[in-house]
Amino acid sequence: MKTMIEMQKKLLPDLLDVLKQRYEVLRQLHLMQPVGRRSLAAALGMTERILRSEVEFLREQGLIRIETVGMKLSDAGSDLVAEMEPLMKDLFGLTDLEKRLATHLHLKRVIVVPGDSDQSDWVKKEMGRAVARILKSIAQPDQVVAVAGGTTLAAVAEMMTASSSLKETTFVPARGGLGEAVELEANTIASQMATKSGGKYQLLHVPDQLSDEARETLIKEPHIQEVVELVRSARIVVHGIGDAKAMAERRKSSPQLLAHLQQEGAVGEAFGYYFAPDGRIVYYGRSIGLTLEDLAGADNVITVAGGSDKAASIAAVCPAVGGGTLITDEGAARAILPM
Amino acid sequence: MKTMIEMQKKLLPDLLDVLKQRYEVLRQLHLMQPVGRRSLAAALGMTERILRSEVEFLREQGLIRIETVGMKLSDAGSDLVAEMEPLMKDLFGLTDLEKRLATHLHLKRVIVVPGDSDQSDWVKKEMGRAVARILKSIAQPDQVVAVAGGTTLAAVAEMMTASSSLKETTFVPARGGLGEAVELEANTIASQMATKSGGKYQLLHVPDQLSDEARETLIKEPHIQEVVELVRSARIVVHGIGDAKAMAERRKSSPQLLAHLQQEGAVGEAFGYYFAPDGRIVYYGRSIGLTLEDLAGADNVITVAGGSDKAASIAAVCPAVGGGTLITDEGAARAILPM
DNA sequence: ACCTCCGGGACTTTTTAAGTCCCATGTAGC
DNA sequence: GCTACATGGGACTTAAAAAGTCCCGGAGGT
């Protein structure tokens, strides 16, 4: 049986936000007391009015006392702050991880879901749900979302739910198919995400492994060119991160390439690029679709990858992809961060 | 350490209400699926619109699926319902107790706080907090609140917090002083409640034990008569329940009275009236202030008493006081109800 | 072919939260 | 003792969220 906390997160995630906010007010007040509304609001980074409402509430609950010199915690208030500390750590320990990861990897936003996808497979679904929520929240009319392939992205597609805000969204694959299991192909995932969310989609029916001439020929095809244009115009990109060795084998790469990758110490893969632990690109398997340069033009690059054994890959790829959003799990997050 | 829920309730008092509502929707949906909005709303006794908001939320959480035949629980949803069942029983066992007590004692409303004030003294404070909350919620401008004495009422006074809604409230003692410890006197409590809540107060400076002539004389005093008028006009009355024997001894009653009470089997006391287990009045120690008849004119009679050893007293007094509000604790509630 | 109940959209009303400005007062520093 | 500043609290406006209400096209069952 899951804990009470897990249930609350599912059934009242909105209330947990206000819980956190109120606790933060209490905690900050505890540190600064006695203090006035305005200085406290500034310290907490909230407007005066909103803090005022919280203060009013906390006063009615008898947790803080208001005096002419400022506000102070009442006895009940300081007791509560002390008692709640471990609970809040449980509830929002991940928030802390998120902040540290964001600064460590220079990302705009990091979301960490509890668990480790190496050990429990529902964790991948949780990451998927998180991605779905983000997509919903940043949705804009007539946007294009490019999605990559892989098991993690498949989980994302599975967790998409219908939403009116995604109705005018077009999902496209980021690159041509990988020539592997069809349910992990970007094409499949793009169409599944569109179906589940109520959006539209366009597919890119080209193989991944192509000779240069074949690629040049294909790319001139009008209907392919059209889709490629669409893909490269995507303002939102969702992709996973692969383990370099596993990806190379899945793509049936030549023994030479495998040896090269191993020699260079490649650990992570994304969009056909293979990365060394220091973020250096050690190989690029060209295909049709998004390139790293295109990512710079996207407003939202959403990276989703988890599992403690992918920690090195994530740490290698993220800096190269640029400071977007990372959705990962607790296992990977703790493995990435220096202790 | 108190339970985690107790702590959360301080920061989010309506947490349980929301949790319960959402759970009920899930549970009912589980029973009726597939079902439409309107029938589900009717079954739950809520309006269509409000259910609609809940449904929207639950769908976003991926707990329910919406199909053309109606709504169904998703796998995650049915898992959650199953997992939550025992938890909800724990959480709302008190709600259940409240309902049963209300019908058993023919009261309008019963609130049961967890614990037993015989065993832990913070339970009395919890009851006090509950009373304070009720007073706040039913507050009207220029109202008069009559309060009795006793240790329980002292706890209520202690837990009152400043509230704008009580600013125009006048607190008065229900009866003249008991001639006992000053901090348990109705006068003291009325003034303390007024001070803590930011309201006003009027006191009744007359002893409790008076000869008939002395009482008749006193009651003609203009300033006393004025307060008595105020007391009898109170639309809200808050009182506790005493153990008959203990009260009689505290009031230094004569050996004859003690014997009489014992012979008649008096168990409970309130407002100077002594009650037998069947609710019969076996003695009335007249004083100046509220009488049982005056209670009928009050809109809200709030009885607050707890502790398993007071169960008999509560059961005896409540019916006589008439169907108001009872605040008690788990210990008393379980002892009162037939098993 | 009809009839009923389904989800969803759209609009209005109501309630609640937030933004903004101002004031009397108490305290600290000079 | 006086000034300057930060304090809580009040009042009013504006914005946003929630709830009430009605209607529509369509799927399923009869």
Sheet arrangement for strand A281-284: A242-243, A268-270, A273-275, A281-284
Q: A252: distance to nearest CA of chain B, Å?
A: 37
pLDDT digits 0-9 by tens, B156-167: 888 887 777 777
What pLDDT is attached to residue B178? Answer: 59
A17 and A128 belong to one structural domain? no
Q: Which domain holds residue A146?
A: 94-337
Q: Residue A11 and residue B19: Cβ atoms within 8 Å?
A: yes
Average pLDDT over residues B7-22: 85
Q: Classify B77 as helix, strand or coil.
A: helix
- Give me the residue label for tokens 């169907």: B323
Average pLDDT over residues A273-287: 87
For residue A143, pLDDT beyond 80: yes
What pLDDT is attached to residue A300? Answer: 87
CATH of the domain at A328: 3.40.50.1360
What pLDDT is attached to residue A38? Answer: 84
B286 and B154 belong to one structural domain? yes
Query: CB-based contact (8 Å) between A197 and chain B?
Result: no
On whether the pTM is more than 0.75, the answer is: no
For residue B153, pLDDT beyond 70: yes
- Model confidence at B1, in pLDDT bands (50, 70, 90)? very low
What pLDDT is attached to residue A179? Answer: 64
A85 and A100 belong to one structural domain? no
What pLDDT is attached to residue A147? Answer: 92
pLDDT above 90 covers a percentage of chain B that reads 13
Give me chain A's average pLDDT, please: 84
A167 and A44 belong to one structural domain? no
Query: CB-based contact (8 Å) between B82 and chain A?
Result: no
A58 and A122 belong to one structural domain? no
B194 and B308 belong to one structural domain? yes
A1 and A81 belong to one structural domain? yes
The answer to which of A13-22, A280-289, B87-96, B184-193 has the lowest mean pLDDT is B87-96
Q: A19: distance to nearest CA of chain B, Å?
A: 6
A75 and A202 belong to one structural domain? no
Question: Between residues A313 and B32, which one has the greater pLDDT?
Answer: A313
In Å, what is the separation between the CA of A51 and the C1' of C20?
A: 14
The Cα A19–Cα A26 span in angstroms is: 11
For residue A56, pLDDT beyond 60: yes
What pLDDT is attached to residue A253? Answer: 82
Count of residues for chain B?
339
CATH of the domain at A69: 1.10.10.10
A82 and A105 belong to one structural domain? no
A264 and A134 belong to one structural domain? yes
- Which residues in chain A have their CB less than 8 angstroms from residue B7's CB? 80, 83-84, 87
pLDDT digits 0-9 by tens, B96-111: 888 889 989 899 889 9
Average pLDDT over residues A102-123: 86
For residue A222, pLDDT beyond 60: yes
pLDDT digits 0-9 by tens, B283-336: 888 788 888 888 887 888 999 999 988 999 999 988 887 768 999 999 999 998
- Model confidence at B237, in pLDDT bands (50, 70, 90)? very high
Count each helix (H run) and each strand (E run) in chain B, helices first: 15, 13
- Model confidence at B2, in pLDDT bands (50, 70, 90)? low
pLDDT digits 0-9 by tens, B194-224: 888 878 888 888 877 777 788 788 878 888 8
Q: How many domains does chain B have?
A: 2
For residue A1, pLDDT beyond 60: no
Write out the E strands in chain B.
64-67, 70-73, 109-113, 144-147, 170-173, 200-201, 236-239, 242-243, 268-270, 273-275, 281-284, 300-304, 325-329
For residue A127, pLDDT beyond 80: yes
Q: Residue B59 and residue A161: Cβ atoms within 8 Å?
A: yes
What pLDDT is attached to residue A43? Answer: 81
- Which residues in chain B have their CB less than 8 angstroms from residue A129's CB? 62
- What residue spans of B139-284 are helical by DSSP H? 151-159, 186-197, 212-218, 222-232, 244-250, 255-264
